[in-house]
């Protein structure tokens, strides 16, 4: 056990899907996994382990923001042996050709600062996805007929952003969307020699100001979870 995860040895699978919301972790586990077992509920952060098409999978919440994700990703890798970590979550679109409910497959994740920044000091490390996972996710999206976009995203360390100038610059440089966790996930995974990918559903649009109502968000996340699972075991 760790300070944040009460799972016993062997209760965490090598493949972990990480939504930010613990209730989304419960929904995904109950919807997609066979015989899901609750393996963590410390501080209300839920984690479940079950099987998908015979493969062991853990779906564990990460919380909001890079500091929270960093804690869980580090513990899942270093204490429980996780080797493939896929973030499944929502994001805000930053390009006109990216529509609501589309899926973004994050090839790279830019940021101003992450919990790992102190390790790199003066180096601007470029966090990126595992190519094998990314390629498999593209194939999975095509099989499902899901509109998917591959490219760079921005991992923000604030939710209530007051930098319209930065958003304009990111949009001009082709950043597809904004979320709050992927850059640190990619950095932690690289440090430990693990595979990582972020599969994101567009729930908000910074250009049009559209937003999915809460009741629609969960029902529109099915493709994202299926893509993540299929890419993990391709």
79 is in an annotated binding site: no
- Whole-Å CA distances, 176 to 105, 133, 143, 168, 172: 9, 19, 22, 12, 10
Say if residues 176 and 62 touch (Cβ distance below 8 Å). no
Distance in angstroms (rounded) separating the CA atoms of residues 55 and 144: 20
Alpha carbons 37 and 47: distance in angstroms, whole number = 8
Q: Judge whether 162 is annotated as a binding position.
A: no
Q: Is 50 annotated as a binding residue?
A: no
152 annotated as belonging to a binding site for a ligand: no
87 a known binding residue?
yes
| 34 annotated ligand-binding residue | no
89 assigned ligand-binding residue: yes
34 in the Ramachandran plot: left (φ > 0), alpha (ψ -120 to 50) or beta? Answer: beta
Which residues are annotated as catalytic? Answer: 204
181 labelled ligand-binding: yes
How many Cα atoms occupy the beta-carbon half-sphere of 88 within 13 Å? 34
* CA pair distance 152, 76, nearest whole angstrom: 25
Q: Is 142 a known ligand-binding residue? A: no
Task: List, as residue ranges, the binding site.
Answer: 4, 20, 24, 43, 87-90, 179-181, 203-204
Task: List, as residue ranges, the binding site for a purine D-ribonucleoside.
Answer: 4, 179-181, 203-204
Task: List, as residue ranges, the binding site for phosphate.
Answer: 20, 24, 43, 87-90
């Amino acid at each position: 056990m760790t300070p944040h995860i009460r799972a016993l040895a062997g209760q965490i699978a090598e493949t972990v899907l990480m939504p930010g919301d613990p209730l989304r972790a419960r929904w995904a586990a109950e919807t997609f996994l066979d015989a899901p077992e609750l393996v963590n509920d410390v501080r209300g952060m839920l984690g479940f382990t079950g099987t998908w098409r015979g493969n062991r999978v853990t779906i564990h919440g990460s919380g909001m923001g890079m500091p929270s994700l960093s804690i869980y990703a580090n513990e899942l890798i270093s204490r429980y042996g996780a080797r493939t970590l896929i973030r499944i979550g929502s994001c805000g679109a930053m390009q006109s050709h990216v529509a609501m409910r589309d899926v973004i497959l994050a090839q790279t994740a830019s940021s101003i600062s992450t919990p790992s920044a102190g390790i790199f000091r003066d180096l601007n490390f470029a966090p990126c996805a595992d190519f094998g996972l990314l390629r498999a996710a593209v194939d999975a999206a095509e099989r499902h007929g899901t509109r998917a976009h591959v490219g760079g995203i921005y991992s923000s360390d604030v939710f209530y952003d007051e930098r319209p100038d930065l958003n304009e610059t990111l949009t001009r440089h082709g950043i597809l969307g904004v979320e709050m966790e992927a850059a640190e996930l990619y950095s932690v995974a690289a440090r430990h020699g693990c595979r990582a990918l972020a599969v994101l559903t567009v729930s908000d649009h910074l250009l049009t100001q559209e937003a999915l109502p809460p009741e629609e968000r969960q029902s529109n996340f099915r493709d994202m979870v299926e893509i993540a699972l299929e890419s993990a075991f391709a």
